[in-house]
Amino acid sequence: MPTLNHAAVLARLDEAVASSWARRLSSLRDVRVVVGCSGGCDSSVLLDVLARVLDPERLIAVYIHHGLSPNADAWGAVVERLARERHVAFRLVRVALDTAAGNVEAQAREARYSALCRVADDERAAVIALAHHRDDQAETVLLQLVRGAGVAGLAAMPEWRTYQKIVLWRPLLEVSRRELECVAEQRGIKWIHDESNRDERYRRNAMRLSVLPMLERTWPGATNAIARTARHLQESLALEREIGRDDLATARVGQGIAVERLARLSSPRRVALLREWFREMNLEAPSHARLIEAQRQLLTSAPDRRVCVDLAQGRLRLSRGIVIFERHKLTDSTCTTIETLQWHGQSQWMLPSWNGAFEFSRGVEGIPESVLQNATLIARPRMGKERFQFGPDRPSRSLKHCYQQNNVPLWEREGAPVLLINDHVLWAPGLGENRAWKFDASTPKIQIRWRAMPKDGPSLHNVI
């Protein structure tokens, strides 16, 4: 393997990041950037180069504390020191995962991105910078390939993507892991080594530690070639979406789609149109197989027959030649799981059994922080004896009475667990935080929100 010229690699990296910024974001004056930083080599180098290429006062370095490693506190301190040395603001955010629920990788990924978006919202930042590089891209393509993904999955990670109204920016996708390590050595950056990265029970680790090295031994340059394939597929995906948008505009009738116009298209164009329609509604598109079955039912039904195609997030209905989408209103309320959490500042509590998460953030209203600090929180179904107050001087009422008084529909009542400390309700679905506590304006307060996840899991397959 040829020796790298450290100074040349550093100069090329700075130029690549500056050019990437100039292509899409230079017109955004004074935009703030959240930088996800784990303390590893990749994200440490990203923070270092951004602090040189951009104004450090624009940056907020964020370390996500998953609570999975006994070294996490020390790693957070490493990132804080790295940020301070570069005059960059620092935030540490704690999240809670349910390790007994399985798929810790997916939980951690969902929690990480949600936490970064909350920090971006708090700091009024428009961009989240992530340190994924060329090797990560190749790993993602192969992971999607073994899942049987289509073009969208195999296109892997784009340089730019909008997620929850925030721009995700990956300026290192053309840079190899070896080049980043070279830059870290040149800049004297000491990075941490996460022991979990050696655990091949996690699929991405197995791909990085076993599969890609084997491919490189057999086909030198395989990693670069696979990453290059992702770029080609991204171009194909962009064309597919452009055609889908044009076809959707032609087939649209009010809030629906004319089935007669849908029938004129080829099957691939129908799929592209339906995917674009779901994207426009801010919904995750069903699988390719489900879309094929949906169009079959819509196009082969008798003219006088009403058709209903059930999907994960709602149903497609065909009536009088128009296809409309109806979202599910009633959430599965059969969950009887009781979960507990010792709260010490976590920003998120993932509850996979409930298909959602509680999110905690500072605000002008909410629960006094002193009530929550070091308390044991309980998330459970409603049992019928809970009480709720709309103000400290208002009477305590049963949740049933409060729901009826405020016309809260059934699906809102049963779509999430009740959150309690002992027998005291903190938050109730459809009503929000209990306002039983008295406090003055200077009291630190925590806002509690519930965020539901799609029933088929986090929609972050391309975010990684």
List, for residues 309-344, the tens digit of each pLDDT value: 777 677 888 888 889 888 765 444 456 778 888 898
**pTM of the complete model:** 0.72
> Is pLDDT of 255 > 80?
yes
Average of pLDDT values for 125-145? 94
Average of pLDDT values for 337-353? 86
**Could you give the CA distance from residue 31 to residue 15 in angstroms, rounded to a whole number?**
20
Give the C-alpha distances (Å, rounded to integers) separating 396 from 101, 196, 233, 385: 36, 48, 59, 12
Average of pLDDT values for 344-354? 86
**Could you give the CA distance from residue 63 to residue 90 in angstroms, rounded to a whole number?**
8
Q: What is the dihedral of CA 298, 299, 303, 306, to 10 degrees?
A: -10
**Could you give the CA distance from residue 54 to residue 127 in angstroms, rounded to a whole number?**
13
List, for residues 52-101, the tens digit of each pLDDT value: 999 999 999 999 998 888 899 999 999 999 999 999 999 999 988 776 66
> Is pLDDT of 145 > 80?
yes
Q: Which of 145, 462, 108, 23 is nearest to 279 (CA)?
A: 462
List, for residues 392-444, the tens digit of each pLDDT value: 888 888 888 888 887 776 667 777 899 999 878 999 998 999 988 877 778 88
Higher pLDDT among residues 175 and 24, named by residue: 175
pLDDT at 333: 46
Give the C-alpha distances (Å, rounded to integers) separating 158 from 12, 163, 172, 280, 314: 20, 12, 11, 19, 29
Give backbone dihedrals phi and psi of 405, rounded to 5 degrees, phi first. Answer: -65, -35
Average of pLDDT values for 207-217? 93
**Could you give the CA distance from residue 110 to residue 101 in angstroms, rounded to a whole number?**
14
